[in-house]
A and B are shown apart, each in its own frame.
Chain A
Amino acid sequence: AQKVTQAQTEISVVEKEDVTLDCVYETRDTTYYLFWYKQPPSGELVFLIRRNSFDEQNEISGRYSWNFQKSTSSFNFTITASQVVDSAVYFCALSEAQSNFGNEKLTFGTGTRLTIIP
């Protein structure tokens, strides 16, 4: 069975501080995909990143960076110089790649509610 754990339920930081959101996953599959999504108060899910299990390179996109470590089954997300607009719920998700017509389903973590204090 696959599982995604986001131990941090809520985090509050002052604007311009850096913040790291943790994500630990469990899967028996050797091929899988990891995702991060942002859910602002309006409810829609905003795709942030996808990473496949064979690519452990860290990634940076502007103020966002991701640290993927297979050895610890973690895929952590860091926001540097946080801004008020970063306030949202962030979900980490796992997809076990299957061969049947791309029929992959996402297992989400419980989410981390991030509040940036002005």
Chain B
Amino acid sequence: GAVVSQHPSRVICKSGTSVKIECRSLDFQATTMFWYRQFPKQSLMLMATSNEGSKATYEQGVEKDKFLINHASLTLSTLTVTSAHPEDSSFYICSARGRQGSEAFFGQGTRLTVV
């Protein structure tokens, strides 16, 4: 099946620094990629949707200047958490979808810890 690779799987960073998370579709063209955030023992909440070559669409309440999303190619999207703070510590997971109506394939997730 389709594979989506997310890197890194775990990252610890100091408060105030920026962290970049990559999401790659390995064997299909991902027209659309989604970024989700999951707080401990809670559900996944959609942060933003990005289409290749376009600006990301952010969900209400998500700071676009803090969570920078780039989707420069059909196989790569990046999420940069800028000026990270401890409250940004969370599990971030991306998904990629090909054709309309197809299932979303998820990456392995990135556990971010800001100290």
Contacts and interface: CB of A to CB of B under 8 A. Distances in A.
A104 B31 CA distance: 11
B67 interface: no
B104 to A, nearest CB: 6
B29 to A, nearest CB: 11
Interface in B82-115: 91, 93, 95, 97-109, 111
A69 interface: no
A44 B107 contact: yes
Given A101-B51, A111-B43, A44 B97 contact: no
Interface residues of A, number: 27
Interface residues of B, number: 29
A44 B99 CA distance: 22
Contacts of A16: none
Interface stretch (A18-26, A45-53, A73-81): A45-53
A112 to B, nearest CB: 11
B19 to A, nearest CB: 17
A43 B41 CA distance: 11
Contacts of B98: 102
Given A102-B31, A108-B44, A47 B101 contact: no
7 contacts: A37-B106, A44-B107, A97-B101, A102-B98, A102-B101, A108-B45, A113-B41
Interface of A: 33, 35, 37, 42-45, 47, 50, 52, 91, 95, 97-99, 101-111, 113
Given A44-B93, A108-B45, 5 more contacts: A44-B108, A47-B104, A106-B46, A109-B43, A111-B43
